[in-house]
Amino acid sequence: MLQREVRVGDAALIANIERNVNFFASSCVLIIAGLLTAITATEKIKDMLGTVSFTAGDTLPQLELKLMVLLGIFIYSYFTFTWSMRQFGFASVLIGAAPSPDDTTVTANDRRSMAIYSAKVIDQASRSYNNGLRAFYFSMAVLSWFIGPYVFIGASLLVTTVLYQREFLSSSLKALKQAENVGEKVFTDDKELYRR
C-alpha cells in the first residue's frame, strides 16, 4: 500500500470487511431483542417445547438459564463485532494517513513503522471479528442444550472439532501461510530497497 499512489483498492477491501462485520453486529441486535422477548414468555416457550417429543422437559428456571446463556453469548458477540468495526475504522484512517510514495520527508523506518502498526490494528480487528464468529458457532451448540445435556456436550465437541479443523488444519490456512512467506520475502526485499 505504501508504494501505491492510488489506494482505492486498499480502502475498498477494508470497507468490504467492515460491511461483513456490520452485518453480524446488526444480526446480534435482532437476536438479542428476540431472546429478551423469549425470556419474558418462558412459560409459553416451556409449554411449546413440552409438545416436542425430543426436547428435555425443562423447569422454568432451567429454561431461563439456557436463554440467559444464549443472551450472554450474543451480547458478547455484539461487543466483539462492534469493537472490530471500530478497529477497521481506525485502519481506514491509517490508510488515509499513510504517506505517499514520493514523500521525501518520510524515512524508510517511518514507512516500516507505519506498515507494522497498521498491520497490528488490522490484525486486532480481525481477531475481534473471529472471536465474534466463534461465539456464533458455539451458540449453535447451546441451542442443542434444549434437546438435552448429552446432545449439548456432543454438539460442543463437534463445534470445537470443526473450528479446530478450519483454523489449524484447513487447506485455506496452508495457502495463507504460503502467501505469508511470500509477503515476508517481499517485505524483506523492500527493506533492502530502502537501504539503498
pLDDT-derived band at 33 (thresholds 50, 70, 90) equals very high
State how far the Cα of 172 lies from the Cα of 166, in Å rounded to an integer: 8
pLDDT at 191 over 70: no
Tell the burial category of 114 from Cβ atoms under 10 Å away from its Cβ (0-12, 13-18, 19+).
Answer: middle
Most confident of 82-96, 103-117, 176-190: 82-96
pLDDT at residue 74, as a whole number: 97
Backbone Cα Rg of the chain: 23
Do 42 and 67 contact (CB within 8 A), yes or no?
yes
Start-to-end Cα distance in the chain: 20
Q: Which three cell numbers stand for residue 36?
A: 429478551
Least confident of 20-24, 124-128, 183-187: 183-187
pLDDT digit string, tens, across residues 37-69: 999 998 888 888 777 777 777 788 888 999 999
CB crowding 166-188: b at 16 or more within 10 Å, else e: eeeeeeeeeeeeeeeeeeeeeee
Q: Quick check: 23 pLDDT over 80?
A: yes
Share of the chain above pLDDT 70, in %: 91
Q: Which residue has the cell 413440552?
A: 50
Average confidence (pLDDT) over 9-19: 88
C-alpha span between 163 and 173 (Å, rounded): 12
Residue 9 has pLDDT above 90, yes or no: no
pLDDT at 194: 46
Residue 141 and residue 159 in contact, taking contact as beta carbons nearer than 8 Å: yes
Host H or E run for residue 24:
helix 8-40
| Per-residue model confidence as pLDDT tens digits over 159-190 | 999 999 988 888 888 887 787 666 555 555 55
For range 95-115, the mean pLDDT: 86
Look at residue 3 in the predicted model and tell me its pLDDT: 80
Q: Give 196's pLDDT tier (boundaries 50, 70, 90).
A: very low
Which residue in 76, 88, 167, 75 sits closest to 124, CA to CA?
88
Residues 81 and 21: beta-carbon distance below 8 Å: yes
